[in-house]
Amino acid sequence: MPELVPWAGEDRDPDISIRLGAVPCQLDDLVHQGPFLQIDTRGFCLLILEDVASYLVPDESTVIVATRPDAPAADIRLFLLGSVLGFLCHKRGPFPLHASCLAIDDGAVAFSGPSGAGKSTTAIHFARRGHRLLTDDICAIDVAPSDGPRVLPTFPRTKLWRDSMDSADLNGEGLDRIRSGRDKYDYRPPGVFLTDPVPLRAVFLLEKAEPDQLDGIVRLTHPVKIISALSAETYRPQAATALGRERALFTAQAKIAASVPVYRLTRPYDFARMDAWMEAVEATVRG
């Protein structure tokens, strides 16, 4: 798992054990069944990707993976570090926001939005401005600290389409594809990766500006609207519902709404004015 940073802390038992092993094709007593995901009354999560692997998450500290013959290792890791990580967040407690996140000055700034909103592209452009990447796609937020929510860094990589790499003047030569057959690549920004939790200073909700619409930044002020927006950007919410985590999610969203500024960032889905709105974001975060 080359995406992960080697452990440099004290010697102790691991928080999560990931191993290869036999995985059932079907769980009993289901509370959720989708095209790929099953969750039963015990809280077992079973993710099945026919051409890649099956992943069983029976508790908050165990993942069992049954790989398919000839499945590329990158494909197996993609879902392990994506959906499976989201299930673990729901089981272990951190609130998983569907966002990319960087450290700007001494605080974490998350850029959230649906797939295709430009989260990873935004992250890599900010990284190119000297800000350090904390996480891409899943932003795990610990809301328990008394001094406010903190982002738990995951791994130092972004998943970039070719046009996003071109926009940031990145050479894709030698980079691995995140999944076979797709023109999307695993890019790891240079520099030291932050491993300690970072205070969450702001959340920006990415929205596309229509051709006749001005881009800009607007702060949300109504708690209900903030909670609703955070709920819409929760990672794998169907799993949280099936696991009985609705109250915990609402509590996490309410804590973020009460202590962290949340903004709507409206901008074109092109790269023409990227420097201008990145400067606007930096100015907003710095006050």
Total domains in the chain come to: 2
pLDDT band at 273 (very low <50, low <70, confident <90, very high): confident
Domain stop point among 92, 127, 159: 92
Q: Which structural domain, as residue segments, surrounds residue 87? A: 1-92
Nearest CA-CA partner of 92 in 143, 33, 21: 143
The CATH number linked to 265 is 3.40.50
Residues 76 and 192 in one domain: no
Q: Judge if 119 and 77 occupy the same domain.
A: no
The two structure tokens encoding residue 285: 């975060």
Q: Are residues 259 and 140 in the same domain?
A: yes
Q: Are 40 and 28 contacting, i.e. CB atoms less than 8 angstroms apart? A: yes
Q: Does 172 have pLDDT greater than 80? A: no
Using alpha carbons, select from 47, 53, 55 the residue that is nearest to residue 71: 53
Are 250 and 275 part of one and the same domain? yes
- Closest alpha carbon to 66 in 48, 41, 90: 48
Mean residue pLDDT across the chain? 92
Q: Judge if 191 and 79 occupy the same domain.
A: no
Q: What percent of the chain has pLDDT over 90?
A: 70
Q: Which of 45, 77, 92 is the last residue of a domain?
A: 92
d(CA 200, CA 191) in angstroms, rounded, equals 21
Both 1 and 70 in one domain: the answer is: yes
User: 211-254: per-residue pLDDT in tens?
Assistant: 777 778 999 999 999 999 999 999 999 999 999 999 999 999 99
Strands 198-208 and 262-267: what pairing?
parallel
Query: Looking at the structure, do residues 268 and 139 belong to the same domain, yes or no?
Result: yes
User: 281, 266 in Cβ contact below 8 A?
Assistant: no
Domain end point (choices 71, 92, 113): 92
Same domain? 85 vs 100: no
Write the burial class of residue 15 (CB in 10 Å: 0-12 exposed, 13-18 middle, 19+ buried): exposed
pLDDT on residue 169: 84
Same domain assignment for residues 259 and 147: yes
Which of 106-120, 169-183, 247-261 has maximum average pLDDT? Answer: 247-261
DSSP per position, the chain = -TTSPPP-S-----S-EEEE----S--SSEEEE-SSEEEETT--EEEEETTTEEEEEEETTEEEEEEPTT--HHHHHHHIIIIIHHHHHHHHS-EEEEEEEEEETTEEEEEE-STTSSHHHHHHHHHHTTPEEEESSEEEEE--STT--EEE---S-EEEEHHHHHHTT---TTPPBSSTTSSEEEE--SSPPP-S-EEEEEEEEEEEPPTTS--EEEE---HHHHHHHHHHTBSSHHHHHHTT-HHHHHHHHHHHHHHS-EEEEEE-SSSTTHHHHHHHHHHHHH-
Does one domain contain both 84 and 120? no
Write out pLDDT tens, residues 21-75: 999 999 999 999 999 999 999 999 999 999 999 999 999 999 999 999 999 999 9
Same domain, 116 and 251: yes
Residues 102 and 243 in one domain: yes
